[in-house]
């Protein structure tokens, strides 16, 4: 490995300070460092466009939170470039490397002995009047959601050409196992082990309470047709990109041909991550004395 990219969370000083320490260390190991434009400008060195870094690098270090990681995953997946996510944000479900463990993780990366997981991704297409108008790749989820003042969303849903249901709800989440600890979890969906090859479909606040989350195999083609008259309804991908939908738009969700390769901590314990991030085993102050 000779070329390593670094992409930082925008507008935060901490990632730049880490890069200031990281650059001489990596160059001392004989690495060519491809640093994103904004961090490079802050340090007065040559930078590269974020769009180009995954194509040029053999691995990418992400300094930020899960949001930064998601955006980089969509850029890097076509080459299956391994991503080392350093958590400088909040929960950090997919940026699992702690700041203090960065250099140890880099030693494993450069030696080629790093542990990793390949994560399932989703492909989402929007078809309007028989023509494909947009295509996206998602690591976490594909969501159809209504705006604050819109009426309930009406989605005619089929799976591999077989009619499933006409869901009337605030929207629909289609989640990967990686995304099962994100919006999916908040909407009452199950937690899936991140390397599983499954997809979860979760109606958001359904009009019929018996409409529950469904766990599906990954070899499915899910079609959702927006039936309601034009409302404030939006398709979002990983909570970051998307477009407004119109009546009779068809959203097709399938397993992506690409995967995201995430570098893991050496002693990573997934259930330990869940206990820490979700507060499992903690007792509320009201209960402790009881």
Residues belonging to the active site: 66
Query: Within a 10 A sphere around the Cβ of 180, how many other Cβ atoms?
Result: 27
Beta bridge partners of 166: 156
Alpha-carbon separation of residue 2 from 26, 27, 33, 279 (angstroms)? 10, 10, 9, 40
**Phi, psi at 278, each rounded to 5°:** -100, 0
In whole angstroms, what is the distance from residue 145 CA to residue 199 CA? 18
3-state helix, strand, coil in the chain (%, to 5): 25, 40, 35
In whole angstroms, what is the distance from residue 275 CA to residue 81 CA? 29
Tokens read off for 207: 């009009």
CA atoms within 13 A on the CB side of 208: 9
């Amino acid at each position: 490995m000779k070329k390593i990219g670094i992409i930082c969370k925008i507008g935060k000083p901490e990632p730049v300070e880490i890069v200031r320490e990281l650059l001489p260390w990596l160059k001392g190991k004989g690495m060519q460092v491809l640093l994103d434009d904004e961090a490079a400008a802050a340090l007065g060195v040559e930078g590269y466009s974020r769009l180009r870094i995954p194509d040029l690098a053999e691995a990418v270090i992400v300094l930020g939170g899960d949001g930064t990681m998601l955006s980089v995953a969509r850029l890097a997946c076509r080459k299956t470039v391994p991503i080392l996510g350093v958590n400088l944000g909040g929960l950090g479900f997919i940026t699992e490397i702690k700041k203090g463990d960065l250099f140890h993780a880099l030693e494993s990366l450069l030696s080629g002995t790093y542990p990793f997981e390949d994560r399932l991704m989703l492909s989402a297409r929007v078809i309007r009047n028989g023509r494909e108008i947009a295509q996206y790749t998602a690591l976490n989820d594909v969501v159809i959601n209504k705006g604050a003042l819109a009426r309930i969303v009406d989605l005619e849903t089929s799976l591999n050409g077989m009619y499933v249901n006409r869901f009337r709800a605030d929207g629909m989440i289609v989640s990967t196992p990686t995304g099962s600890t994100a919006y999916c979890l908040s909407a009452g969906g199950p937690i899936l082990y991140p390397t599983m090859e499954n997809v979860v479909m979760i109606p958001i606040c359904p009009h019929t309470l018996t409409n529950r989350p469904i766990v599906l195999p990954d070899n499915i083609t899910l079609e959702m047709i927006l039936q309601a008259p034009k409302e404030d309804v939006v398709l979002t991908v990983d909570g970051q990109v998307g477009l407004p939908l119109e009546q009779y738009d068809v959203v097709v969700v399938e397993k992506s041909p690409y995967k995201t390769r995430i570098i893991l901590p050496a002693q990573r314990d997934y259930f330990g991550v869940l206990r820490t991030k979700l507060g499992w085993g903690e007792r509320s102050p009201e209960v402790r004395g009881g």
